[in-house]
Amino acid sequence: MSDNKDSHPKLHIHTHDPDLKFDPPKRVAEVAHVQTFAQYEKMYEQSVKEPEIFWGEIAEQFFWASQPTGAFVQYNFDVRKGPISIKWMEGAKTNICYNVLDKNIEKGLGDKIAFFWEGNYPGDDKKITYKELFEEVCKFSNVLKQLGVKKGDRVAMYMPMIVELVVAMLACARIGAVHSIVFAGFSAESLRDRILDASCDAIVTADGVWRGPKLLNLKAIVDKALDFCAEKGKPVKSCVVVKHLTADGDATSKEEKGKRPCNSLQITMKDSRDRWWRELMTAASDHCDPEWVDAEDPLFMLYTSGSTGKPKGVLHTVGGYMIYAATTSKYSFDLHADDVYWCTADIGWITGHTYVCYGPLANGVTSVIFEGTPMFPDAGRLWDVVDKYKVTKFYTAPTAIRSLMKFGDNFVTKYDRSSLKVLGTVGEPINPEAWHWYNTVVGNGNCAVVDTFWQTETGGHVITPLPGATKTKAGSATFPFFGIVPAILSEDGVEVKGPGQGYLVFKQAWPGLMRTVYGDHERFETTYFKKFPGYYCTGDGAKRDEEGYLWITGRIDDLVNVSGHLLSTAEVESALIEHDSVAEAASVSHPHSIKGECIYCFVTLNEGEAFTEELSKELKQVVREKIGPFAQPDFIQNAPALPKTRSGKIMRRILRKIAVNDRDVGDTSTLADESVIDTLFSLRCPSA
């Protein structure tokens, strides 16, 4: 994939040897919290055998206004024994905002930079200290209270990667309200569905955002979503708008792509509902006592795709999530006081929640918040920013690595990356070639590469190397984090001991695990605990090699992982079916060299409709509008009929084969009409 692989002969040697192991770099191991694998094993053993002692000692480093009233941990993973329930430190009172701000300031970190903010356009930047962040958060907490937001209320957020987003999250946490952040790339309809499901009374947004050279009017999308909510009889009472792009007063400067201010953005404010952030903040006091909440009170919900097509509101609670976010950040990135840490994920996804906001702040480190994209203004942007802030720990997605690789090494090597020590990846399996490029070109072969496996549901890393302790293999997430007991199960639920492959499950609870699906505990139990009673089922496949290393093989349900974002094929199908010309649709995952996976759709049209290039474009547009641009299918194929069993079930296994032009479709004897297969092969998208 790389243009100039030949300048890195090592790439060729390593790529095809999955068993080749990489030692933790000495300079990383020497100062690491965990310096040897034996030390990891010892800590791991205690974490799973005596969780209350292991996590109890960690919990002591946080402030608790009162102690747990019952057991430190109580859980039931077995539906046969009663409802699934997970509780850590129930009865203990705390506040995560207090722990990540007030407590750090008490420790003397008030003047330390909490965040360097790096805007979309190079040169547009600012920084905020712990003390300044604390003051902003207190003010916004008072703003929320003034708007009538109380403990337990849900507040939606649809925002760019700006400091105000972190302020809004922490303010919710400070007053015990629950944030529900919707990635600002979702459509108005997706936003509406999430606002309605969570019954949010308030939303925080911004006027707009530049994403690279592209301008998005976020407020207009929010207006549309809020109109829908009002139509449904559930109006949102307050909408707070950050003036991020539009200038106050007369903006006379010539508009430049990607740059602020931006004169062309039209914002309408609805009198009774919409308020400017800055106006509210100016009037607010910067004193706000934290609300002491129960360890098991909700902290946030975050929607993730579900196999049925309806997104699930994954609910996390305060106490367990706090210690898990802090502990995984500390050990997986080996965070120290002098680190400059940068996670490129958007806060709209779980990675941003745990590893842009809560985890790094809990460790009192300085981080970078990046508004832009890896390609703007060119493919060297990430490394320019690394150089600018002397980033030491860097965390990104394989899809970003793959997309940068094809631009060649020069975009990387022209910047100084000698500050880097740990390079993390997350979101999807990383192919060995991308792993080696990351290690060799970005990291100069001198950094620890940590491939961290986890999910929105798990709250934090569950399978990951530790930078100073674990020998890595390219493409393996290696071993379980503290408190995690993985197992691999066969289809009939038998544990695969030793080397083998199957369903990845977990046998016991850890503090950061989700507690329920918001408003639908039964769905929570069905999705994660019913297939294999007694286990939390990830929905991913994994294999264990001869040396015990774990390799994630990808989803084994109907979810597709596009550029690290999970999408449900059912959700894409229901968007397609809403188009007047479409009678039926089936979508499947298809390999993609940059995105990892993409979506390939088969559509059966209504009688009399013709399949044209234009219709294909329209259908792609429908998905963009219904779900969001990132969900747009790459391929849409005409399917006069779909391969179905006699009972009418679509055989997606066969569709996946057709999409990749693999004639070895396996057993077709259960199909109602086998001739469908040849027809579909003859009509497949030739470029796929």
Instruction: Point out which residues bind ligand PRX (CB under 6 A).
Output: 304, 350-351, 426-429, 451-456, 477, 538-540, 552, 555, 561, 566
H helices then E strands: how many in the chain?
23, 30
Cβ-based nearer residue to ligand PRX, 437 or 453: 453
Q: Are 434 and 401 in contact (CB under 8 A)?
A: yes
> Between residues 427 and 643, which has the closer beta carbon with respect to ligand PRX?
427
* In contact, 83 and 120? CB cutoff 8 Å: no
CB of 465 to ligand PRX, least distance (A): 11
Closer by beta carbon to ligand PRX, 480 or else 539: 539
Please say which residue, 119 or 564, places its beta carbon nearer to ligand PRX.
Answer: 564
Tokens read off for 132: 């300044």
Cβ 355 to ligand PRX, closest distance in Å? Answer: 9
Question: Whole-number minimum distance, CB 311 to ligand PRX, in Å?
Answer: 11
Least distance to ligand PRX from the beta carbon of 430, Å?
7
Residue 399 Cβ vs ligand PRX, minimum distance, rounded to whole Å: 11
Residue nearer to ligand PRX on the CB measure, 332 or 440: 332
SS3 676: helix
Q: Write the CB contacts of 136 (distance below 8 Å, at least 6 apart in sequence).
A: 128, 163, 164, 167, 281, 286
In angstroms, the Cα distances linking 315 to 86, 178, 275, 293 are 12, 9, 28, 16
CB of 277 to ligand PRX, least distance (A): 28
What residues does 552 pair with on adjacent strands?
Answer: 542
Shorter beta-carbon distance to ligand PRX: residue 133 or 599: 599
Q: What is the dihedral of CA 33, 36, 42, 44, to 10 degrees?
A: 70
Q: Tell me whether residue 187 or residue 351 sits nearer to ligand PRX (CB atom).
A: 351
Minimum distance, C-beta of residue 345 to ligand PRX, in the bound complex (Å): 8
Amino acid identity at 564:
G
User: Closer CB to ligand PRX, residue 245 or residue 562?
Assistant: 562
Pairing of strands 202-206, 154-158: parallel
Pairing mode, strands 202-206 and 238-242 = parallel
Q: Helix, strand, coil % (nearest 5) of the chain? A: 35, 25, 45
Q: At closest approach, how far in Å is the CB of 686 from ligand PRX?
A: 29
CB of 348 to ligand PRX, least distance (A): 11
Q: For residue 595, give both structure tokens.
A: 């995105």
Q: Count CB atoms within 10 A of the CB of residue 680.
A: 23
- The DSSP H or E segment spanning 500 is strand 500-506
CB under 8 Å, gap of 24 or more: what pairs does 195-199 form? 195/156, 195/225, 195/226, 195/229, 195/236, 196/229, 196/232, 196/234, 197/303, 197/311, 197/313, 197/518, 197/519, 198/154, 198/156, 198/301, 198/313, 198/518, 199/154, 199/234
The token duo for 480 is: 């379980």
Strand 293-294 relative to strand 93-94: parallel, antiparallel, unpaired? antiparallel
| Per-residue CA distances from 641 to 496, 527, 687 (Å) | 39, 31, 21
Q: Min. distance of Cβ 449 from ligand PRX in angstroms? A: 11
- Nearer to ligand PRX by C-beta: 385 or 449? 449
- Do residues 226 and 236 lie in contact, with contact meaning Cβ atoms separated by under 8 Å? yes
| CB nearer to ligand PRX: pick between 504 and 586 | 504
Q: How far is the CB of 3 from ligand PRX (least distance, A)?
A: 26
Nearest residue to ligand PRX by CB is: 456
- Counted residue by residue, the chain has a size of 688
User: 504 - beta bridge partners?
Assistant: 488
Nearer to ligand PRX, 51 or 539 (CB): 539
* Tokens, residue 335: 């965070």
- Work out how close the CB of 433 gets to ligand PRX at its nearest, in angstroms, rounded to a whole number: 15
CB 369 within 8 A of CB 353: no
| Smaller CB separation from ligand PRX, 47 or 452 | 452
For ligand PRX, the closer CB: 119 or 424 = 424
How near is the Cβ of 427 to ligand PRX at its closest, in Å? 5
